[in-house]
Amino acid sequence: MGAGHGHKLHFHGHSVIHRAPAHVKLLALVGFMLTVVATPQDWYAVFAAYAVVLLTVVAASRVPPLYLARRMVIEVPFVMFALLVPFVAAGPRTDVLGVSLSEPGLVAAGALLMKGTLGVLASLTLAATTEPGDVLRGLQRLRMPEPLVQIMGFMIRYLDVVTGEMARMLTAMRSRGCNPRSPRHWPTLARSLGALFIRSYERGERVHLAMLSRGYDGTIPR
Amino acid sequence: MSTPVLDVRGLAYAYPDGHQALFGVDLHVHEGERVALLGPNGAGKTTLVLHLNGILTAGAGAVSVSGLPVAGDNLQEIRRRVGIVFQDPDDQLFLGTVRQDVAFGPANLGLKGEALERRVRHALDLVGMADFVDRPPHHLSFGQRRRVAVATVLAMEPEILVLDEPSSNLDPASRRELADILRSLDVTVLMVTHDLPYAYELCPRSVVLSDGVVVADGTTYDVLTDDALMAAHRLELPFGFDPRVMGARP
Please name the amino acid found at residue B97: T
Q: Which residue of A has its CA nearest to B93?
A: A207
pLDDT, residue B172, reads: 94
pLDDT, residue B124, reads: 96
Shared domain check, A188 and A131: no
Q: Which of A95, A111, A138 is the last residue of a domain?
A: A138
Q: Which of A135, A152, A162, A214 to mutate to test the interface with B (most CBs of B within 10 A)?
A: A214
Q: Which of A86, A114, A138 is the last residue of a domain?
A: A138
Q: Which residue of B has its CA nearest to A213?
A: B79
Q: How far is A18 from chain B (nearest CA, A)?
A: 19
pLDDT, residue A75, reads: 87
Shared domain check, A32 and A129: yes
Please name the amino acid found at residue B72: G
Shared domain check, A151 and A124: no
Q: How many contacts does A have with B, using Cβ atoms within 8 A?
A: 82
Shared domain check, A189 and A126: no
> Residue B139 and residue A2: Cβ atoms within 8 Å?
yes
Helices marked H in chain B: 45-52, 75-81, 89-92, 98-108, 113-126, 142-154, 172-184, 196-202, 220-224, 227-232
Contact list in A for residue B94 (CB cut-off 8 A) is 154, 157-158, 207, 210-211
Q: Which residue of B has its CA nearest to A201?
A: B91
Determine, yes or no, domain membership for A2.
Answer: no
Does A138 contact chain B (CB < 8 Å)?
no
Distance CA B162, CA B53 (A): 10
Domain boundaries, chain B: 6-88+159-245
> Residue A215 and residue B90: Cβ atoms within 8 Å?
no
Q: How far is B148 from chain A (nearest CA, A)?
A: 14
Determine, yes or no, domain membership for A209.
Answer: yes
Q: How far is B43 from chain A (nearest CA, A)?
A: 19
Shared domain check, A159 and A126: no
Determine, yes or no, domain membership for A171.
Answer: yes
Identify the bridge partners of residue B164 per DSSP, sorted by sequence position: B192
pLDDT, residue A3, reads: 36
Q: Which among B50, B105, B134 has CB closest to A215?
A: B105
Within 10 Å of residue A162's Cβ, how many Cβ atoms? Answer: 15
Specify whether the CB–CB gap between A91 and A103 falls below 8 A: yes
Shared domain check, A112 and A200: no
Shared domain check, A134 and A149: no
Distances (CA, A) of B87 to A13, A203, B49, B56: 37, 12, 12, 17
Does A209 contact chain B (CB < 8 Å)?
yes
Q: Which residue of B has its CA nearest to A202?
A: B91
Q: Which among A3, A161, A206 has CB closest to B134?
A: A3
Identify the bridge partners of residue B13 per DSSP, sorted by sequence position: B22
Per-position b or e across B22-39, b if 16+ CB within 10 A of its CB: beebebbbeeebbbbbbb
Q: How far is B213 from chain A (nearest CA, A)?
A: 24
Shared domain check, A183 and A133: no
- E strand or H helix at B218: strand B213-219
Shared domain check, A152 and A62: no
Sort B45 into a burial class: Cβ within 10 Å, 0-12 / 13-18 / 19+.
buried
> Residue A161 and residue B138: Cβ atoms within 8 Å?
yes
Specify whether the CB–CB gap between A94 and A79 falls below 8 A: no
Does A4 contact chain B (CB < 8 Å)?
no
Distance CA A67, CA B55 (A): 47
Distance CA B197, CA B161 (A): 20
Please name the amino acid found at residue A77: P
> Residue B103 and residue A221: Cβ atoms within 8 Å?
yes
> Residue A214 and residue B94: Cβ atoms within 8 Å?
no
Distance CA B188, CA B203 (A): 11
Shared domain check, A107 and A77: yes
Q: Considering only CB atoms, which residues of chain B are within 8 Å of chain A?
A: 50, 53, 55, 76, 79-80, 82-84, 86, 88, 90-92, 94-97, 100, 103-105, 107-109, 134-136, 138-139, 152-153, 156
Shared domain check, A89 and A168: no
Determine, yes or no, domain membership for A168.
Answer: yes
Distances (CA, A) of B56 to A219, B50, B52, B65: 22, 6, 8, 15
Contact list in B for residue A213 (CB cut-off 8 A) is 53, 55, 79, 82-84, 86
Shared domain check, A169 and A117: no
Fold of B6-88+159-245: Rossmann fold (3.40.50)
Distance CA A10, CA A131 (A): 6
Distances (CA, A) of B13 to B25, B39, B170: 10, 17, 32
Q: Which among B55, B80, B95 has CB closest to A209?
A: B55
Distances (CA, A) of B115 to A105, B110, B148: 65, 10, 19
Could you list the residue range(s) of the whole structural domain that residue A24 is in? 16-138
Closest CA to B166 of B180, B31, B158: B180
The tens-digit pLDDT sequence of chain A (222 residues) is 333 345 677 888 888 888 888 899 999 999 999 999 999 888 889 999 999 999 999 999 888 888 888 888 888 888 888 888 888 877 777 777 777 788 888 888 888 899 999 999 999 999 899 888 888 889 988 988 988 988 888 888 888 888 888 888 887 777 776 777 778 778 878 888 888 888 899 889 999 999 999 988 877 776
The tens-digit pLDDT sequence of chain B (250 residues) is 688 999 999 999 999 888 999 999 999 999 999 999 999 888 899 899 999 988 889 989 999 999 999 988 888 889 899 999 988 888 888 887 899 889 988 988 889 999 999 999 999 999 999 999 999 888 899 999 999 999 999 999 999 999 999 999 999 999 999 999 999 999 999 999 989 999 999 999 999 999 999 999 999 999 999 999 999 999 999 998 999 887 666 5
pLDDT, residue B249, reads: 60
Model confidence over A2-51: pLDDT tens digits?
333 456 778 888 888 888 888 999 999 999 999 999 998 888 899 999 99
| Total domains in the fold of chain A | 2
ipTM of the complex: 0.74
Specify whether the CB–CB gap between A2 and A10 falls below 8 A: no
Distance linking the first and last C-alpha atoms of chain B: 28
Distance CA A75, CA A62 (A): 22
